[in-house]
Structure formats: C-alpha cells, structure tokens
Chains A and B, each alone.
Chain A
Amino acid sequence: MGDIFVLAEHRRGELREVSLEMLAAASSVAPQLGGKITAILLGSGVNSFAEKLAGYSDKVLYVDDPLFAEYNSEKYQLALSDLISRYQPELVMVPHTTQGVDMAPALAVELKMPFVADVAGLSFEGGKLQPVRTYYQGKINADFAFKGKPPYLITVRESSFSAGDPSKQGTVEKIASPLKEDIQYRKFVEYIEAVVGDVDISQAEILVAIGRGLREEKNLSMIEDLAKSINAVIAGSRAAIDAGWLPHDRQVGTSGKNVKPKVYIAIGISGAFQHLAGMKAAKTIIAINKDPNAPIFTVADYAIVDDLFKVVPKLTEKLKELRA
C-alpha cells in the first residue's frame, strides 16, 4: 500500500514532458505516502521510453503491443483498470491532457475511485494527501480532500511541476498485453495537424503594430529593422492590411485577431475602437503617434507623441545598442 501509479504519455514517437513532471510530483509525496513509484507505459516499440522512465521511478510496468501503438481511451482504460485492481496503489496520476481527460473520468466511474481533475499541486493535511486546484486564473488555490477509500485518481495539469533529474534506477518489467484482439467500436483514425499560417500573431510575445500613419509600404523596412532588434513580430491595423502592406492574418482587432502579447508597440495607429478592443489586453502598450488626442493613448502605458519617422529609427538604434 502507499504506492503511486503514474501513467506516462507519449504521442507520435515522443515521450511527453508531463510524464516526467508527474513523476517528480510523485517523488515529492512518496515519502509521506510511504510507497513506491511505478510508471505505467502502454505502447508499441517503447523500450527506450521504459528505460528513460526507470531513471525517475522505482518500477516501470510496460505493455509492448502493436494494439497500443496509438492512444485509445477504451484500451487504456482496460489496461489501467486491470493493473490498478491487481496492484491496489494508493494514488493514480494521469496527465490532464486531451488523452488523460478523455479516459480518467470513465476509469474513475468503473473502479469507483475518488477523483480530482486538473490538479496543479499536492499538499498534506493531517497526514492526508490533498490535491490542489486553482481558480480565477491561478489567483485562488483550493485544497481538496478525498472521500472514501483509495485508490485515488487525479489528473495533473501540464507544467505544474518541474521534471527532476534522473536519480533512480527502477526495475523495468514488461507485462503481458491485456488485449487479445483489437477493439472494433473505437478506432484511431488519423492525426490532424492544426493549420499553421506564416506567423501566429496571437502567440507572439512582442508585437510591433503599424497603422496608416506609416503612409507607404516602402517605410515598412524601417519597422522590420525595429522588429528585428527586439525579436518582435509585425502586425497591423485594418487600415494597414487594407493598404496591402501586410497579409490578412496579421490584422489586429475584433475582425482580425485578438492579441495579448507582453509588449505591444503601436506605431502610427490612431486606435479605432475595434482595434483597441483587440489589443488592450496586452501587458504593456507603447504607442507612437503625433496626434496627442489619438484614442490609442487612452490604453497606452507609455505614450510617445511625436513623428514616428523621427522616433522609430532612434528607438531602433538605442535598442540595438542595448542588445549589443
């Protein structure tokens, strides 16, 4: 008793980092629970993953079967329910990923396991394990207590724990596949890749956005210079896109993309309402515009009221100096 099971996740030939994060979390509570850490791995041709996981756990139990080549919640549930019933661990950890949340609730129901989802931390109160969940975008933590008897099930949020260094040499045990034949009613079909555009401005940390104030397309080189000096991505207002200076997917605003980068530098953008609504969530907004009444200044943290053709080259020069 007191053992912890950690379900390792892999996808398209890669062991996912969340597996190691969960093992680190397990290590942090294993002493209090007084048990061993077992990594569970289901896959096909995954010996190397098993070896790697052994560096972070006391034991690795793995199934190597072509029927487990791709994730399938039905098969995973079957295998896990079998292992949990046999070994009776105290705690079972499953990643809170699309795979994990697809399977965990059904598993919890099947085995009548007390279940806490989307766990971001683990604490102890009166010798009892308490999973921690967060609310209001991380502003509030809530401790949960399990009702009933173990085994307990939790799904663990990605990036909530830091993966440690390999410090263990666990035993690796290959176990027989619980599947005799393939499941017919739920099948893996294919992976569909998200369509990637040239650049996704909604993911950029620093955006340099231009507006009609830039006047002509040839002035774009000046902006590219600035963007390059701070590794920024260039975006634009609707007017700049309409003028054909930038491709359509670079448009910021309610009819383009809503963005919230760490830094947003608005150059020659007066700030139409729809533009402001699309970018005001940026952490720091720097606006350069010669019109002091431009609405962009109502949302800006830093305002430079001057001719952009004077400001931008000087700014680029200074930034280059600072970075040199």
Chain B
Amino acid sequence: MNSEVRSFLEKHDLLGCVQCGRCTGGCPVTARTDLNVRRVIYESIDEKMLDKMSKLPDIWDCTTCSTCAVRCPKGLKPLEVLIGLREVLVESGMVQSTVRDALESVFQEGNPWKKPRATRLDWAEGLEVKIAEPGEKVENLIFVCCTVAYDPKLQDIARNLVKVLNKAGVDYGLVGDGETCCSSEVYNLGEAGLFEMMVEDNTELLKGFAADRMVTISPHCYSTFKNQYPLLKMEIVHYTHLISELLAEGKLALPKEVSKKVVFHDPCYLGKKNNVFEEPRFILKQVPGVEVLEFERKKERSLCCEGGGGKMWVETESRKERLAETRIKDARALGADVLAVACPFCILTLDDALKAKGFEEEMKVADILEILHEAAG
C-alpha cells in the first residue's frame, strides 16, 4: 500500500465504517439515481479500486447535503469519500468540460459564472450601500456570494438585505468588488488544490477588514467560511442570525401585514450541516399576518433540493422527478402560498420546479428577505 492511498483510507476513516447502510438508506438522491454510498465506501477501501471508482458517474449524483453524515452512527462523513473520489478524477484531468469551465472562472474571475470581476457590484447600482474599507472598523462585514451578485433573478436578495439593514440602522460594510468566491463548490467539485489557494487568498483579504464578524447571504458561504477556513478567526454568521438579533432587540419594525401561509424549507448547508434551524422560523413568526406551516420532512430530515455539491455544473441524467419538484408538491399539498428559503441555490432549483409543476399561479418561492422587506414597508 503506498502512502497516498493509505492517506485516503485514513483521511476518511474507511475502516471505521460498519457497513450498516444508514447512509444509503437516508440518501435523498437514491430516489432518483443508483448512487449507493455504502457500496462506494466499501469498494474504496481497496486501493486498486480508487481510479475505477473515481470514473463512476454515480459519484457526481451526490449533492453533499450531509444527510449521510448526520445519520452515520460512527460519526463518519460518507459524502467526503465521494468528494475525495472526485478529487482523484480532477487530479487525472478528466472532468466534464462544464466543471472545468466553472473552476477556470473561479481562478480567473473569482466567481464560477464566467462573469467579469468588474461587474460584481452591479446589483447595487442606484442603491445606498456602504462598502467597507480595509482596516475600517465595521460591526458586520457582508459577504454577498457570487450567485446572488450575478444572477439577475437573485440580486434582489442582496438588495433586500441592504435595504433592511439601512432601515434598521445597522453598522455594516460590504466586502465589495474584491469579494471572491468562498469556493464551497470548488471544494465539492473536487479541486482541492484550487480550494486551498482560494482559502489562503480569501483569508488574507478578509483579515484586512477590522470587522467583528462576517455575515453571509448564502448558507454555502456561511458553512464554508465557518468550517473550512481554519485561519479566519472572525465570527461567521448567516444573515438569519443577524436579522433575528435585530428583531429580538426591537431594532427592526415590521409594520406591514403579509397575509400568507408560509412553509420554510431548511437549506442543507444551514440546517443539516450547521444546525441553524430556529432563526429562520423565528423571523417568519415575527412577520405580522404570516402563518408558518411545517413540512413533515423538516430540520435535519429536510429534503435536499439538489442545488449544491456542484450540481449547478453537473446534471444527473435520471429522468425521475427532481427532489425540488417533490418538495414543491409537498408544499402545495400543505396549502402554502409561499415556499420560503434562505439560500440562493434552493431558490434556483425550487423556482424551476415550481414552473415545471405549473404551480406558478398558486404559489411562489421566495427568500425570507423578500417577505421581510415587504413587511418592513
């Protein structure tokens, strides 16, 4: 056994696996694909299998939702084995061209969407925003996220956050056009080298701000900065945390009534990965007129929308119903007017599913910030 393979086995503690199968049993994508996490772990124990395993299309079905890790009785992280196999494939240079393009774009432009860095702040045009200066003391440093900054459908999330913060008189500053991808998806796509480089660069950049804490819009950025940036010592919170604080301290008034039945979909990177369950619900409950509903599959049992884990760049070939569509049907069955989320990827997948199911008239998918902005008047 050579040292590299020994480290794969050791890194993922493969021999700690008791092959109970709870990972596969709980894995949401097994409803659509042949991915069998337990078997992948078993076969990856054999060093000679790694190359072959890395070429299995199945390893790209994983959305890195962490259900397997939450359920593993031995505390292993089966999803990391799949990411590890992607790393083997990336190392061999044989990844899909869409993945290559996204990675190249992160390297060149600091975002995976092939958008010029210079237009990163275009969403803020005409808006009163505060950009943090390096060294300037701000209480809340705001990290917007590439997808929110560039996708015209999602830019409102950033605009709504800024408007709400302005209204509540919060001391904040945006990272600005130097903001660079947190690289959560770079990691999930298996480009460990690029990820390491981005972590170093971002740590250097963000340390330059004299901020007490950083607030992210996307749970993916939140989870990555919080758990995968060991040298970034500032506190990292998701925006639902900041808003909850403002509401609890009476700093944000919500004078307008929003008479809607709202069901909250727990984003995996907020819930399952970081145990943030209460803040989004607390916010929704503060909005006058809102009736908060709950999915049967909620919190750590929440059904993944299939937006993460690099799935924006790798399609699952299965024609079976997308999990986002299942989620939309469930929300509809509850009689919800709004399916509320707090994650840009969730909005993209769920909104597509809403159209696919033809429920656009009856229901909408909205970020919590949209509801909040409406209530704040």
Chain A residues with CB under 8 Å of chain B are 202, 212, 238-239, 242-244, 248, 251, 254-258, 272-274, 277-278, 295, 298
The prevalent SS among residues of A at the interface is helix
Contact check, B352 vs A255: say whether CB atoms are below 8 A apart.
Answer: no
> B101-134 interface mask toward A, CB cutoff 8 Å, 1 = contact, 0 = none?
1100000000001100000000000000000000
Contact check, B311 vs A295: say whether CB atoms are below 8 A apart.
Answer: no
Residues of A within 8 Å of B315, CB to CB, are 238, 248, 251, 255-256
Q: In B200-222, which residues have CB < 8 Å from any A CB? A: none
Contact check, A256 vs B352: say whether CB atoms are below 8 A apart.
Answer: no
The chain B residue with its CB closest to the CB of A280 is B114
Q: In B144-187, which residues have CB < 8 Å from any A CB? A: 147, 150-154
Q: How far is the CB of A260 from chain B (nearest CB, A)?
A: 11
- Other than the given A254-B101, A273-B348, 19 more pairs (CB < 8 A) read A202-B97, A212-B355, A238-B315, A239-B355, A242-B322, A248-B317, A254-B113, A254-B313, A255-B314, A255-B315, A257-B97, A272-B348, A273-B113, A273-B150, A273-B153, A273-B154, A277-B114, A278-B98, A295-B153
Q: A242-B322, A273-B348, A277-B114 are in contact. Are A254 and B152 (CB under 8 A)?
A: no
Q: How far is the CB of A244 from chain B (nearest CB, A)?
A: 6
Contact check, A239 vs B352: say whether CB atoms are below 8 A apart.
Answer: yes
Q: A239-B352, A273-B150, A273-B152 are in contact. Are A255 and B312 (CB under 8 A)?
A: yes
Task: Pick 28 A–B contacts, CB within 8 A, sort by A.
Answer: A212-B356, A238-B315, A238-B352, A239-B352, A242-B319, A243-B356, A248-B317, A255-B311, A255-B312, A255-B313, A255-B315, A256-B98, A257-B97, A258-B98, A258-B101, A272-B153, A272-B352, A273-B147, A273-B150, A273-B151, A273-B152, A273-B153, A273-B154, A274-B312, A278-B98, A295-B152, A295-B153, A298-B152
Q: How far is the CB of B146 from chain A (nearest CB, A)?
A: 11
Q: How far is the CB of B95 from chain A (nearest CB, A)?
A: 13
The 5 closest A-B pairs by CB, nearest first: A273-B151, A255-B315, A248-B317, A254-B313, A277-B113
Residue in A212, A238, A244, A273 whose Cβ sees the most chain B Cβ within 10 Å = A273
Q: How far is the CB of A264 from chain B (nearest CB, A)?
A: 16
User: A212 to B355, alpha carbons, bound, how many Å?
Assistant: 9
Q: Which of B98, B113, B152, B154 touches A255 (beta carbons < 8 Å)?
A: B98
Q: How far is the CB of B127 from chain A (nearest CB, A)?
A: 19
User: A85 to B344, alpha carbons, bound, how many Å?
Assistant: 65
Q: Which of B150, B348, B356 touches A239 (beta carbons < 8 Å)?
A: B356
Chain B residues with CB under 8 Å of chain A are 97-98, 101-102, 113-114, 147, 150-154, 311-315, 317, 319, 322, 348, 352, 355-356
Q: How far is the CB of B373 from chain A (nearest CB, A)?
A: 20
Residues of B within 8 Å of A248, CB to CB, are 315, 317
Residue in A243, A256, A298 whose Cβ sees the most chain B Cβ within 10 Å = A256
Residues of B within 8 Å of A238, CB to CB, are 315, 352
Residues of B within 8 Å of A298, CB to CB, are 152
Q: Which of A244, A254, A256, A274 touches B319 (beta carbons < 8 Å)?
A: A244
User: A255 to B316, alpha carbons, bound, how many Å?
Assistant: 9
The chain A residue with its CB closest to the CB of B353 is A242
Contact check, A254 vs B98: say whether CB atoms are below 8 A apart.
Answer: yes
Q: How far is the CB of B332 from chain A (nearest CB, A)?
A: 18
Residues of B within 8 Å of A295, CB to CB, are 152-153
User: A255 to B348, alpha carbons, bound, how many Å?
Assistant: 13
Q: How far is the CB of A278 from chain B (nearest CB, A)?
A: 8
Q: How far is the CB of B291 from chain A (nearest CB, A)?
A: 31
User: A239 to B322, alpha carbons, bound, how many Å?
Assistant: 11
The chain A residue with its CB closest to the CB of B112 is A254
Q: How far is the CB of B356 from chain A (nearest CB, A)?
A: 6
User: A169 to B138, alpha carbons, bound, how many Å?
Assistant: 81
User: A258 to B355, alpha carbons, bound, how many Å?
Assistant: 23
Residues of A within 8 Å of B312, CB to CB, are 254-255, 274
The chain A residue with its CB closest to the CB of B102 is A254
Residues of A within 8 Å of B113, CB to CB, are 254, 273, 277
The chain B residue with its CB closest to the CB of A251 is B315
Q: How far is the CB of B222 from chain A (nearest CB, A)?
A: 21
